[in-house]
Copies of this chain bind each other. A is one copy, B any other.
Amino acid sequence: MITSRTALLVSAVFMTALRADEGMWTFDNVPTKRIKAAYGVDVDQAFLDRLRLATVRFPGATGSFVSAEGLVLTNHHVGRGAIQQVSDAEHDYIRDGFTASSRKEEKKVAGLVLITLEKMRDVTKEVGAAVKPGMAPAVARKAREAALLALQQAEQKATGLQVESVSLYNGGETWLYGYKRHTDVRLVAAPEAQMAAFGGDPDNFVYPRHDLDFSLFRVYENDQPYKPAAFLPFNAGGAKVGEPVFISGHPGATARQETLAQMAFARDHAIPFNLKSWKRRHEALLRYGATSPEARRTTQDQVYGLENNLKRWEGFLRTLRDRDNWDRLEKQEKELKAAVAKHGGRTAAAAWESIAQAVDREKGMMKARALVGTLGSQTLSYALTLVQAQAERAKPADQRLPEFSEARLKSTETRILNPKPIEVGVDKALMLNALQEALEILPNHPFTKAVLKGRTPEQVVAAAFGNTKVLDVAERKRLWERGVSEATDEMLNLARAIDPILRAQRKQYEDEVESITKEQGGRLAQARFEIFGHEAYPDATFTLRLSYGKVDGFPANGTLQAPFTTFAGLYDRAWGMGPDAENGAWKLSPRWVDAWKKLDLTTPYNFAYSADTIGGNSGSPVVNAKGEVVGLNFDGNQEKLGNRYVYDVRTMRAVAVDTRAILEALTKVFEAPHLAQELKAGRL
């Protein structure tokens, strides 16, 4: 342990290594001095509490209360599933958009649950106390998990909140976060998907941008609009160039605390291999999609998802291959190593070597881990869950696979009882591709042999889907409740065949890689803590964070990109591309074609800002120093894709919809001035 005096000295050194506006900070550790120094803004506890309580977690994303009457703002692409769900044969709200002209018309989204973070409790010490000296890594992990589960259950019981455990600083800190649940959520307004994602896949992850990527929901309680503990009013004046802005939300995952060995593995092996595999899957989907218009329609979502994934991982790779960034990562690790050596972290010093060895083992498992699984098939994935559920539920709770633990059993059930029909054609095409890939790359692997059993991939697919009842949700419910023992379903047989192989692979990875990198990463994080204190920020973990920065352009394409686009820019792009380019990616929805004549074209539309964000921040409110909403985060620029590994203020920008554009569109295109009014006034 190092004296606080030393810690302070060293942390001053560390701080210079942080780039301006860097960091996704937990709400207990917002760098108020840093913000004051950079922007002259005093961030006080009232500001932070209000922002925290007004921020809403969507599944995988973020939203915020923006009126005293429970109105929730998020992205269209976050609300998309809900918008789809409330559509019906007569109403395609994805295509046409939706506007509730009165509260009565607001459409309840069954099953949608939003949560808000009400309580945060640091349990690092209690959990750490469960690990006794001399415990083997795997044993220590089990001990920590058990202690944490007990604490979590007690907290849940005491508060009545939904309590989740949170691991920060790569295991250096453990917290319990208590969330209030909102279960009556109704759709209020959404634009046409075409206008929300204007420019489609080509323009995704890109700035300049012209997307109206917002949707509005309302939380109800007892059938009345909910009065949230806090909300964020709109600033009708929007954002200003150079203005400091703050964003709260749930950045999903970063890997910035990984060691150089881990990043080099990602750069030189894992990412290139996965990119190749995904490109193969992409081609398989396109091939299947080309067989009929219906096939094309049913593959479109997955094709879109895969293309975005490809762009994203290619971005990661570019950032890691950038010389300046790599130099910086090397410098950071060197500095930390020197500090650890100087301040007596012998255990931590050995961690780099242990992690490097684990990475070497991971390298050996890489291909199998990518290809040995449920063959890209949703049906086989359901079948495996059903097969495993029976075995797991027979075990004591603490010996089960995590997805069958008490905490997660319900969400596992919800997943496999999803009533949305499986697209069988797509599912078959994906399984066939995965089988062919396994046969080509791992011809002698036990998995490949167990699956094929001397048959061709085509024969395996035909057999598995031949008599399967797993496609039927009622049948899955029956199998989930009564067990699969008597079922002779071929899909279930396939699941039975792969189950032991997948379990073995999983165990080997956990024991030989994951437990080591977690444990040793935790030691590095603890060493970092001891040396730098809370001057560092933890990797993103899909828990609530605050980032900050300013509205700002950036250099790209040989010039500077403007901080703002405007409605004029939307039309410029539509007219300059024409409605037919790239399958209509820039085609205006019907009510927008002539709307330029009534819209104020000077209205700022999207803007770029320097806060440190990542996927999961979708739908995050962007607020000014007063805590008023000036924008709605929805994406980043192309340069930002590598933000997973390293933040670069020189070129990386988050992208938001300006509040002025939302208000102007609601008023003049949606013809819903009452909603614009509620957003401006904070009341109905």
CB contacts (< 8 Å) of A559 on chain B: these are: 199, 202-203, 206
Provide the bound-state CA to CA distance between A424 and B601, in Å.
48
Query: In the complex where A203-B559, A558-B206, A571-B601 touch, is A564 in contact with B576 (Cβ < 8 A)?
Result: yes
Q: Is A582 an interface residue (CB 8 A)?
A: yes
Most interface-central of A565, A575, A578, A596 (chain B CB within 10 A)? A575
User: Contact at B569–A572, with CB atoms within 8 Å?
Assistant: yes
A581 in the interface (beta carbon within 8 A): yes
Q: Which B residues lie within 8 Å of A343 (CB)?
A: none
Find the B residue at minimum CB distance from A602. B575
Which of chain B's residues have a CB closer than 8 A to the CB of A637?
558
Chain A 604-615 interface 0/1 with B at a Cβ cutoff of 8 Å (1 = within):
100000000000
> How many residues on A have C-beta within 8 angstroms of the other chain's C-beta atoms?
37
Across the interface, do B562 and A576 meet the contact criterion of CB distance under 8 Å? yes
Contact B575 A566 (CB under 8 A): yes
Q: Please, how many angstroms separate the alpha-carbon atoms of A601 and B576 in the complex?
A: 11
Q: In the complex, what residue of chain B is closest to A208 when comparing beta carbons? A: B576
Interface residues of A in 530-579 (CB under 8 A from B): 553, 556-560, 562-566, 568-569, 571-573, 575-578
Residue of B nearest to A555 (CB): B202
Q: Which chain B residues border A577 with CB–CB below 8 Å?
A: 553, 560, 562-563
Contact assessment for B572 and A560 in the assembled complex, using a CB-CB cutoff below 8 Å: no
Whether A64 is near chain B, meaning CB under 8 Å from some CB there, is no
Q: Which interface residue of A571, A602, A604 has the most chain B CB atoms within 10 A?
A: A571
A581 to B586 CA separation, bound complex (whole angstroms): 29
Q: With an 8 A cutoff between CB atoms, is A299 at the interface?
A: no
CB–CB B205/A558 < 8 A: yes
Query: A152 interface residue, CB < 8 Å from B?
Result: no
In the complex, are the beta carbons of A241 and B572 less than 8 A apart? no
Q: A557-B557, A559-B202, A638-B557 are in contact. Are A575 and B568 (CB under 8 A)?
A: yes
A267 at the interface (CB under 8 A from B): no
CA distance A558 to B571 in the complex (A): 20
Given that A568-B601, A596-B601, A601-B601 are known contacts, is A562 also in contact with B573, CB under 8 Å in the complex?
A: yes
Among A311, A563, A576, the most chain B Cβ lie within 10 Å of the Cβ of A576
- B residues in contact with A581, CB < 8 Å: 241, 553, 560, 562
- Would A565 and B572 be within 8 Å (CB), given that A578-B241, A596-B601 are in contact? yes
By a CB distance below 8 angstroms, the chain B residues around A582 are 560
A571 interface neighbour in B203, B553, B568, B578, Cβ under 8 Å: B568
Q: Chain B contacts of A566 at CB under 8 A?
A: 571-572, 575-576
User: Which residues of chain B are within 8 angstroms of A604 by Cβ–Cβ distance?
Assistant: 575-576
> Which residues of chain B have C-beta atoms less than 8 A from A578's C-beta?
241, 563
SS class, residues of chain A in contact with chain B: mixed
A558 x B601 contact (CB < 8 A):
no
Q: Which chain B residue has the least Cβ–Cβ distance from A575?
A: B566
Residues of B within 8 A of A202 (CB): 559-560
Q: Is B558 a contact partner of A638 (Cβ separation < 8 A)? A: yes
| In the complex, residue of chain B having the shortest beta-carbon distance to the beta carbon of A641 | B558
- Of residues 584 through 616 on chain A, the ones whose CB sits less than 8 Å from some CB of chain B are 586, 596, 601-602, 604
| Bound complex: CA A490 to CA B582 (Å) | 67
A207 smallest CB distance to B (angstroms): 8
- Inter-chain CA distance A601–B566, complex, in Å, is 14
A566 to B241, CA, bound (A): 24
| A344 to B: closest C-beta gap in Å | 43
List of B residues within 8 angstroms of A638 by Cβ: 557-558
In the complex, what residues of B have CB within 8 A of residue A596's CB?
568, 601
CB distance from A476 to the nearest CB of B (A): 40
Question: Contact at B576–A563, with CB atoms within 8 Å?
Answer: yes
Report if A206-B569 is in contact (Cβ < 8 Å); known contacts: A575-B564, A576-B564. no
The one of B311, B557, B565 that contacts A556, using a Cβ cutoff of 8 Å: B557
Contact with A569, one of B205, B553, B564, B576 (Cβ below 8 angstroms): B576
B565, B573, B576: which contacts A576 (Cβ < 8 A)? B565
A626, B602: Cα distance in complex, Å:
39
Q: Report the bound CA distance from A305 to B576 in whole Å.
A: 31
Q: Mark A202-241, 1 if CB is under 8 A from B, else 0.
A: 1101101000000000000000000000000000000001
Residues from chain B with Cβ under 8 Å of A572 in the complex? 562, 565-566, 568-569, 572
Instruction: Report the minimal beta-carbon distance from A16 to chain B, rounded to whole angstroms.
Output: 23
B residues in contact with A205, CB < 8 Å: 558
A602 neighbours in B (Cβ, 8 Å): 571, 575
- Specify the chain B residue showing the minimal Cβ separation from A572: B569
CB distance from A47 to the nearest CB of B (A): 28
Q: For the complex, what is the distance from the CA of A604 to the CA of B576, rounded to whole Å?
A: 7
What are the 7 A-B residue pairs with the smallest beta carbon separation, nearest first? A562-B576, A558-B638, A569-B572, A568-B572, A564-B576, A568-B568, A202-B559
Query: Hey, which bits of chain A sit against chain B, CB under 8 A?
Result: 199, 202-203, 205-206, 208, 241, 311, 553, 556-560, 562-566, 568-569, 571-573, 575-578, 581-582, 586, 596, 601-602, 604, 637-638
Could you jot down 6 A-B contacts, CB within 8 Å? A206-B559, A553-B577, A557-B638, A562-B586, A568-B569, A572-B572
A206-B558, A566-B575 provided; 15 other pairs, C-beta below 8 A?
A202-B559, A202-B560, A206-B559, A311-B558, A562-B573, A562-B581, A563-B577, A563-B578, A564-B576, A566-B571, A568-B572, A568-B575, A575-B602, A596-B601, A601-B601
